[in-house]
Amino acid sequence: MANPHDVPVYKRRDGLDPVPELGRLSVETPVFRDTAAGVYDWIVVGGEEVRAVLGDAERFSTRPRRGRADHGRPNSPPDPGNLLMYDPPEHTRLRQLLAPVFTMRRVRRMEPAVERIVAERLDVLERAGRPADLMRHFARPVCGLAGCAVLGMPRDDLPELSRMADVRAAARSPRQAAARKAFNAYMARLIARKRRDPGEDLLGALIREHGADVTDKELEGICASVIAGELENASEMLGLAVLALLRHPEQSAALRERPEMMPHAVEELLRYVSVVPVVSPRTALVDVPLGGEVIKAGEAVGCSVFAANRSRPPGEPADGLDVSREPGRHLALGHGIHFCLGAALARMQLGIALSGLLERFPGLRLGAGPDELRFRLLAPQHGIETLPVQW
């Protein structure tokens, strides 16, 4: 497990809460140099400064640069189909093709499938006995199986896909290279099969309606992004959302009494957890004055949406969880042209999973002490290794 003091301050948390230093930085130095040997030259933690960077596609690029020492316009090609690596006009073309497939109306057609998955995994969780690991028996399988349903993947392929995705995201090694190759080969077979028989899932709809305008490589990248988002972002979000509710039993009680508040609760939990601590790097295309500093052309910027969503200046009351809060301008799903394409899917899935869990287990509570919980401090997505629960 990582030592908290080895974790950069912009990724450091006190359980689910920001450390006090983050609040101080957001006021005193909202833009500061990153001294770690990572991919960033600058870290942005001020709320308005984060919005300024994420909302400026003219002066900041999401295309990967070749190395930290490089300067000038980023020149590495994006991974095909990965919207987070595209700039306009390529980003505009691909997003306009994908957006109609991920509308709320289309996503609602997936609700019965997600409801069945949630009910099935609640049965598995109950059979596992008490205490049961909610991450193993519920959060990760629910999100992985939902991803399979969205893409029309055989659900029996999920364990192998999960293993490949885990190794693929690990440190560079021959094993990682082999897993990446196998993962890409799986996606290529999936697309070839879906080209022949699109099916009724969201991927099938994309192929039927826009298949001639999207290459196989782009479709493979889109599928990889969706399933990785489910296995990583969505599953960690669901686990930490449950933990947040269990640590605030009055909020869980309010949701049970007024289930119609669930849409508000989903937005509040997305904001409160902010599972992606730092969004994908932006590279300055020109010199940009920001937060009292000047980001030079070619320098990479990391934006802390967790700081923007949760940090409070010294002396102000700590940020709290309130499931009745009117949805505000949180950044948990991004901002600007790279706002999460699957936002409607993420919200629907989280709402169904939490509703099912609270209804099935009205006495749900933590099955371990706070000091026994182990968080994924250095992972790209903030998360928890295991979440023992009782009921």
For the stretch 142-201, pLDDT in tens is 999 999 999 999 999 999 888 887 766 665 677 778 888 888 899 999 999 999 999 989
- pLDDT of 27 over the 80 cut: yes
Whether 293 has a pLDDT exceeding 90, the answer reads yes
Mean pLDDT of 248-275: 96
Does residue 249 sit within a domain? Answer: yes
CA distances from residue 116 to 301, 303, 353 in whole angstroms, order as listed: 41, 37, 10
- What is the chain's percent helix, strand, coil content, to nearest 5? 55, 10, 35
Instruction: Answer yes or no: is pLDDT of 288 > 90.
Output: yes
pLDDT at 266 over 50: yes
Domain range for residue 20?
4-369
Question: Quick count: other Cβ atoms within 10 Å of Cβ 304?
Answer: 31
Which domain CATH number covers 276?
1.10.630.10
Burial status of residue 3 (CB atoms within 10 A of its CB: 0-12, 13-18, 19 or more): exposed
> Quick one: pLDDT band at residue 72, thresholds 50, 70, 90?
very low
Indicate whether 382 belongs to any domain. no
Domain total for the chain? 1
Q: Is residue 390 part of a domain?
A: no
Is residue 146 included in any domain, yes or no? yes
Average pLDDT, stretch 276-299?
Answer: 94
What pTM did the predictor assign? Answer: 0.92
The DSSP symbol for 65 reads P
CB 229 within 8 A of CB 84: no
- Helices 343-360 and 235-247: crossing angle in degrees, nearest 10, is 40
Is residue 45 a part of any domain in this protein? yes
Lowest mean pLDDT among 63-72, 82-91, 207-216, 375-384: 63-72
Can you tell me the distance from the alpha carbon of 294 to that of 298, in angstroms, rounded to the nearest whole number?
A: 12
Distance from C-alpha of 281 to C-alpha of 62, rounded to nearest angstrom: 6
376 falls within a domain: no
Does 283 reside within a domain?
yes
Comparing CA positions, the residue from 204, 248, 245, 217 lying closest to residue 109 is 204
Q: Is residue 337 part of a domain?
A: yes
pLDDT tens across 216-242, in order?
999 999 998 999 899 889 999 999 999
**Complete DSSP assignment for 135-193:** IIIIIHHHHHHHHHHHHT--GGGHHHHHHHHHHHTSSSSHHHHHHHHHHHHHHHHHHHH
